[in-house]
Amino acid sequence: MGLIDFFEKIEHKEAKTTPAKIGKTAVDAVFTFLYSPKSTTSGGVHIRDGMDLKRTMFQVMIALQLCLAFGTYNIGHQHFVAMGQYMGFIEGFHLKLIHGVIKILPIFLVTHLVGLGIEIFFAAKKGHSVEEGFLVSGPLITLIMPPDVPLWMLAVAVAFAVIIGKEAFGGTGMNIWNVALLARVFIFFAYPTTISGDNVWVSGFETVAAGVTTEYGWMHSIFNVLFGWMGLDEFVSGGAVVNGFTGATPLALANQDGWEAVTSVYSPAQMWWGAIPGSIGETCKPLIILGMLFLIVRGIASWRIIVGAFLGAFLMGMLLNAWGATPFMTVPWYYHMWIGSMLFAIAFMATDPVTAASTNTGKWIYGFMIGFIGIIIRIVNPAYPEGWMLAILFLNTFSALIDHYVFESNMKKRLARA
């Protein structure tokens, strides 16, 4: 009880200056993160609903953990495969895991320090507690970034997404666009070479070209001491990218020369299980599916949006397969789940309850259009071989309009019956 008393004492203490308000708001954020609210429903209602906003956000965080763990390890795996070392997925396990942690931890910390810092500032200025929306936005931003994204660019992107995409609209629950996707779209348009090409998907090298060497930093040296004491392999600077290695993602290969170019580098099994370059959290399809099913069972994600998105994507994929005007159009429609971020985007981005349609019929339309338009952008637009980021943000913009027409249609039907 001592810790709770400490937090409650600060909560009831008056803050007059701006720094004091910011400090109090920061402490309150930690308090609400650690403990559930004591308030209950009143007025004759005998059921206490434990699924407040914070608990809802925690459900999504739980669903993301497997993708976060795998993505961290895959950062290290791709790094060593580039040098022709520890080619088996579990070979050099300790080196791959630690390298992944060293790379992902700064991305995670910068994202949360910038994002939460801005939210705490705005909450202090408005005189209310910090809302829990960034509990999900922070990990999502981390997972949709390339492992070698420059940290200063990431900080600018997060600041833009939180200020322009969220606080300008009033905070959590008021934003019309997905905050995590806004961070990525900012980097894409402001620094396009940072989120495309072959170099950003494999960490630890200035460029991913044959003969380019890697140099490890002081954090690797600290772990070398531990590994040496345990008799394990250590990080050795000077390793070079081997001839024939490419940091290209399957999506980039498909865009250039179709499905045959993809399978000449990566097997369908590699793409399914995720041992490929890509954004940190998008590669392992079974773990994404597990997270998606968890959110559906817990009632957090709408299965209507998910099924609708798959139907739209598969229909457009079949139509483009029939057309076959470019090599990318010939990629079998069912393999679009294997490449890129289709599964991750549908499971964790399209289902955002704040920015998605809210009516049942609207969810079907909203999901279907995301899948349909996403495949069009992915295949037909030569400048951007992906599509889900733009498709979801586009439908975010029209989700309220979709619900409006669903309401209008329902009212007309009821009036006709009356």
Lowest mean pLDDT among 23-32, 86-95, 179-188: 23-32
Task: Kindly state the tokens that stand for 312.
Answer: 């739209």
Decide if 82 contacts 209 (C-beta within 8 A): no
Task: Kindly state the tokens that stand for 81.
Answer: 């495969």
Averaged pLDDT of the chain: 88
pLDDT reported for residue 121? 87
Decide if 27 contacts 10 (C-beta within 8 A): yes
- φ, ψ for residue 400, nearest 5 deg: -65, -35
The pLDDT tens digits for 238-247 are 999 999 898 8
pLDDT reported for residue 45? 47
pLDDT reported for residue 125? 79
Nearest Cα to Cα of residue 93 among 256, 212, 196, 230: 230
Segment 276-284 shows an average pLDDT of: 94
pLDDT reported for residue 31? 56
The pLDDT tens digits for 283-330 are 999 999 999 999 999 999 999 999 999 999 999 999 999 999 999 999
pLDDT reported for residue 170? 82
Nearest Cα to Cα of residue 200 among 269, 148, 263: 148
The pLDDT tens digits for 92-123 are 999 999 999 999 999 999 999 999 999 888 88
The pLDDT tens digits for 19-78 are 655 555 555 555 555 555 555 555 544 444 554 566 778 889 999 999 999 999 999 999
pLDDT reported for residue 58? 81
Rounded Cα–Cα distance for residues 353 and 302 (Å): 8
Task: Kindly state the tokens that stand for 331.
Answer: 């990629």
Indicate if the pLDDT at residue 387 is higher than 90. Answer: no
User: What would the 3-class secondary structure string for 275-341 be?
Assistant: CCCCCCCCCCHHHHHHHHHHHHHCCCCCHHHHHHHHHHHHHHHHHHHHHCCCHHHHCCHHHHHCCCC
Segment 149-167 shows an average pLDDT of: 94
pLDDT reported for residue 47? 47
Decide if 366 contacts 356 (C-beta within 8 A): yes
Indicate if the pLDDT at residue 200 is higher than 50. Answer: yes
Segment 223-230 shows an average pLDDT of: 96
pLDDT reported for residue 29? 53
Distances (CA, A) of 217 to 171, 199, 200, 205, 290: 39, 19, 19, 12, 35
**Residue 386 pLDDT level (bands cut at 50, 70, 90):** confident
- % pLDDT > 90, the chain: 68
Indicate if the pLDDT at residue 164 is higher than 50. Answer: yes
| Most confident range, picked from 124-128, 162-166, 169-173, 314-318 | 314-318
pLDDT reported for residue 278? 92
Indicate if the pLDDT at residue 195 is higher than 90. Answer: no
Segment 338-356 shows an average pLDDT of: 94
**Residue 144 pLDDT level (bands cut at 50, 70, 90):** very high
